[in-house]
Structure 1
Amino acid sequence: MMRNLMKLNYILSLTAAMLMAVAGADRPATAASNQQDTRPLRSRTDDKRATQQDVIKESDETLRLDVDLVDVVFTVVDRNNRLVPGLKQEQIELLENGAPQEIDYFEQNTNVPMIIALVIDVSGSQEFVLSQEKDAAESFFRSVFREGKDYAAIVTFRGDTYLAQGLTSDLKRLADSIRRIRRERIFRADEGLQSSGTSLYESIYLTIDEILEGKTARRVIGSDEVKRHAIRRAMILLTDGQDTTSQRSEKEAIDRANRSGVIIYSIGIGDNFRFGEVNTRALEELCRQTGGRAYFPQSESDLRKAFDQIVEELSSQYVLAYRPSNKAQDGSFRNIDIRIRGVDGLQVIHRKGYFARGR
């Protein structure tokens, strides 16, 4: 009887939480929420029933790249993995599928705005590191974020994905939403109540679909062609890299990022900084394919250093845009290669390519 009473209390609490989520769903994305997890992006069960036309919730509002113009954000490091600033456009050689391309736009990052999504795993596996993650994330935004110029959103995920803070240029709102984040509550299996799993790849896909390319992002970026391509879009993942319940695959998440020019950075962290629990292969692949880098801290000090390195990298990026010489609208994947003329031993880090527009 006691067990049944506990289940009933849980069901009543869950129902109340769902009603609160529905009530808050129509709030503007930039409004600060009074509590976390009030705005789910989509549930796994909804995806199971979705048709192909329903997969992208905001398809009519999604930001589309110009038919011809392709943008690439990149960083350059030397043999000692130190970032290389100060390069000029004439030093950049750009190839698409091996064919040289003419660069139409080139800019160092100093004046280039950013749209950032911080995506935090709040599943049970992050129980003992979430507090340190929150402190480091808040410090990160205070270091790199420029109010009035940059925009950011805070997303949490476990089995489902939740919008903790929509895109905003208000640093206080970001800090407040980070402080409100809490981990998933895990119930004992012998009580019939279990953890909801972890949907990493689905969270990446949804965050790009509905935040980094959603209606608010469209308003932020505006309609001017050059302005749109002078925007950097990045996602920072805080997770152990494990995925147990996604309806999306790793490849689908990578392809979605490359279609939108979103760079993924990951901080792979296991509970109590246990490195063996981290899926390093998956996180490294997500970052390698999209032009970011993966970090694997093994202490709180390492965690802060990882954020510091991301700050440094975001402050040393270059942006270029070009119109491909291949005008075919065949939906094919086009490989991108960037090289530096006249200097040996440099490595260019960028997304591996993009998908051409289909007919």
Structure 2
Amino acid sequence: MMLGQPVKEMAQAQQSAPTQEAIPDGPKPQAIPDAPKPQELPVGQVTPGAGTTQDSSGSTSDDEGVPSKLSPAAAQKAEQGPPPEDVPAGQGPEYVIRAHVDFVEVPFTVKDNKGKLVPGLTWRDVRVYENNLRQQPSLFTVDPFPLSVALVIDQSMTFDNMAKVNNALAALQGAFTPYDEVSLITYNNGPRTVTQFTGAQSARLTQALEVSKSTGREPMMYSTGPLSQNIIINNGADSHIDPNTNSTHGTSVLGIQNVPREAHTLNDAILAAGVALSKTATGRRRIVYVISDGKEYGSTAKFSQVVKYLNTNKIAVFGTLVGDSSLPVVGFFDRMHLPLTMRDNILPAYANATGGNFDGEFRQKGIETSFAKIAEEVRTQYTVGYYTHEPFVDGKYRTLEVKVLRPNLTVIAKKGYYPTAGDQRPTGVTQVK
């Protein structure tokens, strides 16, 4: 009975108590944060009065920066250095790279042993050397840049090669994007500007390409056939060659026919294209695109002078090689140059000295596809930047070498550069509003 009485009273109290919904919510108690964990003491020898410093890997070092203990992973990380500034993927054109006067920017292309482009490289796979000294990358990006292209078309080719180029020019504009700008320069006995920089998809460029079409020149006729013989008037002491029927433009003292010299002013044309590109806005990739058979003779500018100007203004030479020089065997011998003679193919030398490339095509279909192939190669270039430790504006040539820590790969980059004070800009990567 005594136990039943408290149970009965508790049941009545529960029935008479208000429901939970009727009771207003009161302030909830706040969670009490945990106390801070005790810090670990530095491990290693401590120099009196100097203390220790701790790197990101957790190892301690003295004031001279010599770590006491490093794991293999930490040692590799320390050897690579801090990561470079990375531009977000897909936002390259919306960003402007700004650098100090001692900032060097190196675009490069990587291909495998089959000549295909290699994507997916990171800054950890790349090593940059200036004057044989390794540099620490401060910028690495794979985003494409808008292009400023100076298109150079050779009109001194033979009529058959010129016909192939004329028919293939219709596919040229499809290799560029609306963000690109293109100027057009032709050359025969000298360079001629057809149009200044205009939109790559504009009607103005379409009309300029139509104007640039030429018939070319006839191939040289050597001493074969009856029409190749000269007519000599008055046999004897006063004999001379009839100028109206002279097929070889005269003969030498030994009677050997003199072939007239052809003018192929490729050096002057590339220099004119470089001067036009040097005035374009910064933040764009500067490209000289040459469509030629590579012959050079009669230019005022020298090859070394033009290359120095291109490397000073960060201009690369790409091109489509046509004619006999595009053939594998013939093209190999055309690259050889004998002193005091015409250079049969100088385009590979320009591409190698400026970090560009060329594609040799003999047929019209190959010439058309080479436009898109070269444009894709330019857009998929990697860009690495670093701060040089050399006195920047000294005018001396600096050698460059880019290496990739993967086997069986070919790196295409410029061999060096000339410093200039024109690159002085504030530091940082800022977004364009």
TM over 0.5: yes
Number of the residue aligned with 1:288: 352
**Cα separation, 1, equivalents of 2:165 and 2:290:** 11
Q: TM-score, with normalisation over the residues of structure 1?
A: 0.68
- What do the CA deviations read for 1:231-285 (whole angstroms, capped 9, x no partner)? 2111111112112210111222222221122111122223898885994452211
* Pick aligned residue for 1:199 from 247, 265, 270: 265
Task: Verify: 1:87 aligned to 2:121, yes or no.
Answer: yes
C-alpha distance 190-301 of structure 1, shift in aligned 2 (>3 A): farther
Q: Which amino acid aligns with 1:201?
A: N
Corresponding residue number in structure 2 for 1:356: 419
How far does residue 184 in structure 1 lie from its aligned partner after superposition? 6.7
Partner of 1:213: 278
Shift of 1:153: 0.8
Where has structure 1 moved over 3 Å in runs of 4 or more? 184-196, 271-281
Count of aligned residue pairs for this structure pair = 277
- 2:170 corresponds to which residue? 138
Distance change in 2, residues 1:113/1:271 (3 Å): same
Secondary structure at the aligned position of 1:81 is classed as coil
Q: CA deviation at 1:305?
A: 3.3
The answer as to 2:331 corresponding to 1:266 is no
Q: CA separation in 1, counterparts of 2:348 and 2:324?
A: 19
Return the TM-score normalized by structure 2: 0.57
State the alpha-carbon separation in 1 of the partners of residues 244 and 267 from structure 2: 29
Cα drift, residue 138 of structure 1: 3.4
1:136–1:182 distance in 2 versus 1, CA, 3 Å: closer
1:155 touches 1:161 (CA, 8 Å); kept in 2? yes
- % identical aligned pairs: 22
Q: CA deviation at 1:352?
A: 0.5
Which of 76, 82, 85 is 2:110 aligned to? 76
Q: What secondary structure does 1:344 align onto? A: coil
Q: Matches of 1:126 and 1:196 in 2, distance apart?
A: 11
Aligned equivalents of 1:307, 1:85: Cα separation in 2:
20
State the SS of the aligned residue for 1:115.
strand
- Residues 200 and 242 of structure 1 are in contact (CA less than 8 Å); yes or no, is this contact kept in structure 2? yes
The residue type equivalent to 1:205 in the other structure is L
CA distance in 1, matches of 2:211, 2:268: 23
Aligned residue in 2 for 1:310: 374
Q: Corresponding residue for 1:8?
A: none
- When residues 352 and 156 of structure 1 are mapped into structure 2, their CA distance, relative to the original with a 3 A threshold, is same
Distance 1:313 1:323 in 2: 26
CA deviation after TM superposition for structure 1 residue 102, in Å: 2.5
- Superposed CA deviations along residues 187-218 of structure 1, whole A, max 9, x for unmatched, are 99969999982211111112101x1112xx1x
- Gap runs ≥5 in structure 1: 1-64, 222-227
Q: For each residue in 1:48-98, what CA deviation from the matched residue of structure 2 results, as whole angstroms up to 9, or x when unmatched? A: xxxxxxxxxxxxxxxxx9632222221101122210112222322111011
SS at match of 2:113: coil
3-state SS of paired residue (2:172): helix
Which structure: larger Rg?
2
Cα pair 1:331 1:356 within 8 Å, conserved: yes
Instruction: Please tell me the residue identity of whatever aligns with 2:303.
Output: E
Unaligned 5+ residue runs, structure 2?
1-98, 221-242, 250-259, 337-345, 422-433
Moved more, 101-110 or 331-340: 101-110
